[in-house]
Amino acid sequence: MSVQLAIHGKTFSAETKPLMEKMWSDICAKNCQPILSDFFKNHLLEHGFSVAEVPSYSIEKGLESADMAWSIGGDGTLLETLTQIGAKEIPILGINTGRLGFLATLSPPEISAALDTVLQGNYRIENRSLVSVESEVDFFDGKGFGLNEVGIMKTDTSSMITIKAFVDGNYLNSYWADGLIVSTATGSTGYSLAVGGPLVIPSSDIFIIAPMSPHNLNVRPLLVSSSAVLTFEVSSRSKNFLISLDSRSKVIDSHFKIEVKKAPFSAKLIKIPGDDFLQTLRSKLNWGLDVRN
């Protein structure tokens, strides 16, 4: 049975073109019906790939349907692919042609064998919780969901902001800080980790609330259930603040309240045998590296 395979990728250089040619050759040799994002198709055409007759989809309107989606790049490319899929919950396979890669973990030399494995159905799907952002204004144009984190941050270089936080309507704390991160379990290895948050198994049903450079030394990251509804009120001298959702961001007025909660749908990540979070920790972060081990 032929597999309809949606593919989105980042730009690549002349040095990495042979790698992309081998990848495309492998895809064409298999029983696949590729459909390319319009951005990636145009980039392939610019590099001389014969993809003029390959169907494409608009990254602005998103992907209508496919059996699975491939993200070719780094973690940022996978996050872009996720925004193109949204609530359709099409499974995503992340191929890492970037740097570290906690989400896109499959390396290019593994692609040919991995494609055979995936087409044979020898894979599992990990359901990853998403975080959503709501306010009086739709800041993210109908795509107010993210896999990693929501960030609330100051916009200038001098003054802290004050973030008044509530959990299910109950007052939690007023954070005097450069900002605040609300991370999913998946995002624990991202921005949250950089500001002192804990590492969390991705299947955990939690949010991490982690302040950025807090003025109070007794304020530490806090874990709450992902069923909780978090509300934030921000005040600052500049009368505005920056809100980020994964790799997207907006500057907004400080009079808006922000509501953060679990999205009603999830991200489905394709994992082939041997690809698991603990292995990724050991290989990417040198977790537990010790000459005695």
**Segment 205-210 long-range contacts (CB within 8 Å, at least 24 positions apart):** 205/129, 207/131, 207/182, 207/183, 207/260, 207/262, 208/181, 208/182, 208/183, 208/184, 209/165, 209/172, 209/180, 209/181, 209/182, 210/180, 210/181, 210/182, 210/183
CA–CA distance, 72 with 12 (Å, rounded to integer): 10
Torsion 103-109-110-111 (CA) sign: positive
Of the candidates 26, 38, 75, 138, the residue annotated as catalytic is 75
**Structure tokens, 275:** 């690809």
Task: Give the containing element (helix H, strand E) for 212.
Answer: strand 206-212
Classify residue 176 as exposed, middle or buried by CB count within 10 Å of its CB (0-12, 13-18, 19+).
Answer: middle
Half-sphere exposure of 43 (CA within 13 A, CB side): 17
Note if 75 is an active site residue: yes
Output the DSSP codes for 141-171: TT--EESSEEEEE-SSSS--EEEEEEETTEE
Q: With the CA atoms of 195, 196, 201 and 203 taken in that order, what torsion angle do they form, in degrees rounded to the nearest 10? A: -50
Measured in residues, the chain has a length of 293
Distances (CA, A) of 291 to 40, 286, 288: 44, 12, 10
Active-site positions read 75
